[in-house]
Amino acid sequence: MLPALEKTIETAKNQDIAEDRKQILAPLIVYIQGKLDQKADVNLNFICTHNSRRSQFSQIWAQTAADYYGIPVKSFSGGVEVTAFNERAVASVKRSGFKVTSKGDTNPDYTVFHSDTHEGISLFSKLFDDPVNKSDHFAAVMTCSHADENCPFIPGAEKRIPVLYEDPKAFDDTPEEAKKYDERSMQIAAEMLYVFSKIRQ
């Protein structure tokens, strides 16, 4: 892991996770463990309405946590509308210690690196069934209530797991903007690291 990111990971690992959140995360742990026990591929698709903030954070941190613990997982994300990976969320990812590159303008294609030895994580706003995402044998991890309520059926998903997060968008263009984005990123980091710390290989 990149040195600055190592510090963020250590901070995240020391976060307290409330019992009610552990119960919410339990089905995700069971799903990952079950797939590994079957020697099957583990594919996670984190879904939120615009695929711009929470689902992107979740894809990044799930893949980072899996790689950190050496667990073979492929992490994806998508939405029900195409927008862009929000620039405020991108800035928060950089502050966490990731290296980020981008190309394009309207809906940029970002590559996020957590180390110098792993290939980067490709991120851009897309529909949950975009061709770059796994089309079957995956868990649909719903990260926002709007998408969870308005997408009762996700084609190809073998498991649907709600892991809902508050939207930092509420603090856009306020003095607390950066702080709130970083808080949400840290919460997701802590929870994904907790999930993968429970997986046995």
Domains in the chain: ranges and CATH? 3-197 (3.40.50.2300)
Q: Tell me what pLDDT residue 148 has.
A: 79
Pairing, β 74-78 against β 43-47: parallel
Q: Tell me what pLDDT residue 147 has.
A: 83
Q: How far is CA 43 from the centre of its chain?
A: 12
Which of 87, 188, 182, 112 has the alpha carbon at shortest distance from 143?
Answer: 188
* Backbone dihedral region for residue 103 (phi beyond 0: left; psi -120 to 50: alpha; all else: beta): beta
Q: Tell me what pLDDT residue 109 has.
A: 97
**Cα separation values, 56 from 20, 39, 40, 60, 75, Å:** 23, 27, 24, 6, 10
What is d(CA 3, CA 81) in angstroms, rounded to the nearest whole number?
35
Q: Tell me what pLDDT residue 151 has.
A: 75
User: 3-state SS string over 57-109?
Assistant: HHHHHHHHHHHHCCCCCEEEEEECCCCCCCHHHHHHHHHHCCEEEEECCCCCE
Which residues, at least 6 apart from 103, have a Cβ–Cβ distance to it below 8 Å? Answer: 109
What is d(CA 170, CA 134) in angstroms, rounded to the nearest whole number?
31
Instruction: Report residues of the chain scoring pLDDT below 50.
Output: none
What distance separates the 2 farthest-apart alpha carbons in the chain?
Answer: 49
Q: Tell me what pLDDT residue 53 has.
A: 97
Pairing, β 109-113 against β 121-123: antiparallel
